[in-house]
Structure 1
Amino acid sequence: MRKGTFMGHCDLLSPALKHQNIKIRAAITVHKRVAIALWKLATPDSHRSVRHQFRVGKSTVGAAVIQVTNAIKYLLKSRVVTLGNVQAIVDGFAAMGFPNCGRAIDGTHIPNLAPEHQATEYINKKGNFSMLLQALMDHKGHFTNINVGWPGKVHDARVLRSSGLFQKLEEGTFFLDQKITVGDVELPIVILGDPAYPLMPWLMKPYTGSLDSSQDLFNYRLSKCRMVVECAFGCLKARWLSLLTQIDLSETSIPIVITACCALHNICESKGEMFIVGWEVEANHLATDYSQPDSRAVRKVQEGAVRIREALKTSFMTGQATM
């Protein structure tokens, strides 16, 4: 990030990071601790390597990462990971081909070392230890809601059902009560997911199996909008390469680090910070050792969801849906 962005956020984090000088030595400055943490998060470097880069002790590197990511979670997350302008997001997805869509949802696995307790719970389908990050994205690929900390063995649908987000979507309190009519069916603001999620009136997912042309078109429209999630996860991991290594922290600290990286992603995106193509190349190289497991499709359907999806499918074929 540019110097102005870095300095501005050091000021915001300062209340949580400012230490008193002691007689033996002066406390490391806020700016240096933030720089150490960002360097560690942005590279696959070991603590030893970062230690030499900044000429500090190895334990200082670990402490800086924990202190700074905690400060980002408690002081910055609520500022930058927000619901946003719902109407602007709905308009953005409509321009991409899907009407009354408020978000896209997906999950990604972050590799970690085997925890001391319940290690088998963290083994995903690829046989790697991982922790799940589930996120809602807007049409620009900004994180608007995150749920992190579930073991890699857990299915995406269970993560969603166990979240406060699910409860709000079920109650109809997460979005405004803004419905449109498609054919003879009322369509609430929906989120878009992959086959790993249940089909619900507020959650549209692709058709599976042998498809006709109208189902193919529906899947194309949905997939086109959901690409923002995959691109955002790719940018997140390319900027913060530590998420592609086995994070050597406790089960309680890893979610904080992942949360901080999501907040930093939003900051970089909103500030228009540079993204170098070479980062993605390095990320893809690191990711070869930790490929994402495929989630099995969920067949559960909530009443009314099929009618909504069928109405959307028909409207896409007849050209009646918002473009």
Structure 2
Amino acid sequence: MNLSKRSFTLLPRLLTPSLSSLSPLPPNFALAATFFRLAHSASFSAVSRRFNIDSPAACVAFYTVCKAINENLGHLFEFKSDINRIIVGFGWISLPNCCGVLGLEKFKLDGDLLGENGSLVVQALVDSEGRFLDVSAGWPSTLKPEKVLRQSKLLSGVEETKEYLNGPCFELSDGNSIPQYILGDSCFSLLPWLLTPYKKSDENAELNSSEMAFNSVHSSGMELVRMAFGRVRKRWKLVAKKWSEQCVEAFPFVIVTCCLLHNFFIKCSEAVQDEDAECSRDQEFPVFDGEVDESGKRIRDALASHLSRANERR
């Protein structure tokens, strides 16, 4: 794993107060052992041999560092704290007032706990630079995407506490205005704040120019989620492998750690690793087939018309 000396020396300083319980093991030593396990999917016995510590100590160090990262770097999920930067970023890719792209990712589970092809599901919101803004991890693949969303803190923050997406509307050139919104994968329901792609009413139907313009931009947005997860998988091999069903409870903790480190490296201007063929995977989720929210439909139609007009001017 390539990591600059500047970033590696900064991280222990940010985490040291939370790593004092590992004494006499130095914080940078514990961090190096944790990175080795994450990057190489190394067993605790392999970490033990590499760093000349016993396996129980390697295990304690790993989970202590992961806990410290969760506690001390949680502010790097910047959905609430840096919304203006997020909106400006999406504006550069023709999405006015967009506050993120929401998608799901499957991580395979070994064993029959969730059936033959069982997986753990992670819901993530990313920005235009591929940073994670919100992560909800460890859902069973037997749960429908709509239920994952309904049980997540993201939906609660938007619809109940109103702490998210409460900024001003954006006025479009035709006089219509759109509120702050998120692009959502087709497995989610269309909502006033969650805009999903258009789908054909039947096999013979065709989308009009506005609908195609929206779907094209939407598809580019969803690619940001795929790329972010691809980079996490490539850098941190531990989460790319099949997880043992005995480790299910630890998975959400570890994947959030990896997503926070991903953001930390972007913040430090570390080189980004693009995913390759080894990370290709089947990530199909069923298209939502429930009722369409009329308010969401109007907002999506207004944005689609705006994008179509923008295409005509080019």
Query: Is TM more than 0.5 here?
Result: yes
> Is 2:19–2:27's contact at 8 Å kept on the other side of the alignment?
yes
Cα RMSD (Å)? 2.4
Structure 1 residues 15-94: aligned runs within 5 Å: 15-19=17-21, 27-77=24-74, 79-83=75-79, 84-94=81-91
**How much has 1:255 moved relative to structure 2?**
1.0
SS in 1 for 2:247: coil
Distance 1:35 1:29 in 2: 10
Corresponding residue number in structure 2 for 1:302: 293
**How much has 1:184 moved relative to structure 2?**
5.5
Corresponding residue number in structure 2 for 1:255: 252
> Is 1:14–1:30's contact at 8 Å kept on the other side of the alignment?
yes
Corresponding residue number in structure 2 for 1:5: 7
SS in 1 for 2:146: helix
**How much has 1:301 moved relative to structure 2?**
2.0
Distance 1:262 1:132 in 2: 14
Distance 1:93 1:321 in 2: 20
Structure 1 residues 145-224: aligned runs within 5 Å: 145-171=134-160, 172-182=162-172, 183=174, 185-209=176-200, 210-224=206-220
Deviation readout 1:264-292 (Å, 9 max, x if unpaired): 00001111112356xx34xx42x46xx33
Letter in 1 for 2:126: M
> Is 2:178–2:302's contact at 8 Å kept on the other side of the alignment?
no
Distance 1:265 1:322 in 2: 37
SS in 1 for 2:226: helix
Unaligned runs of 5+ in 2: 201-205
Unaligned runs of 5+ in 1: 22-26
User: Out of 227, 230, 234, which is 2:226 matched to?
Assistant: 230
> Is 2:22–2:61's contact at 8 Å kept on the other side of the alignment?
no
Normalising by structure 1, what TM-score? 0.85
Distance 1:57 1:30 in 2: 17
Letter in 2 for 1:105: L
> Is 2:234–2:273's contact at 8 Å kept on the other side of the alignment?
no
The 3 A distance-change label for structure 1 pair 11 and 40 is same
Distance 1:213 1:320 in 2: 10
Letter in 1 for 2:91: A
The range that moved more, 244-253 or 216-225, is 244-253
**How much has 1:65 moved relative to structure 2?**
1.7
Note if 1:271 corresponds to 2:268: yes
Corresponding residue number in structure 2 for 1:24: none
Corresponding residue number in structure 2 for 1:101: 98
Normalising by structure 2, what TM-score? 0.87
> Is 1:36–1:61's contact at 8 Å kept on the other side of the alignment?
yes
The range that moved more, 85-94 or 193-202, is 85-94
Deviation readout 1:132-163 (Å, 9 max, x if unpaired): 11111111111111111211222222111112
> Is 1:41–1:242's contact at 8 Å kept on the other side of the alignment?
yes
Distance 1:292 1:29 in 2: 41
Distance 1:211 1:132 in 2: 31
SS in 2 for 1:292: coil
The 3 A distance-change label for structure 1 pair 214 and 66 is same
Deviation readout 1:228-249 (Å, 9 max, x if unpaired): 2111111111111111112346
Corresponding residue number in structure 2 for 1:315: 306
The 3 A distance-change label for structure 1 pair 270 and 145 is same
The 3 A distance-change label for structure 1 pair 153 and 5 is same
Distance 1:322 1:239 in 2: 41
The 3 A distance-change label for structure 1 pair 112 and 16 is farther
Distance 1:13 1:91 in 2: 31
SS in 1 for 2:72: helix
**How much has 1:296 moved relative to structure 2?**
0.7
Corresponding residue number in structure 2 for 1:292: 282
**How much has 1:196 moved relative to structure 2?**
0.5
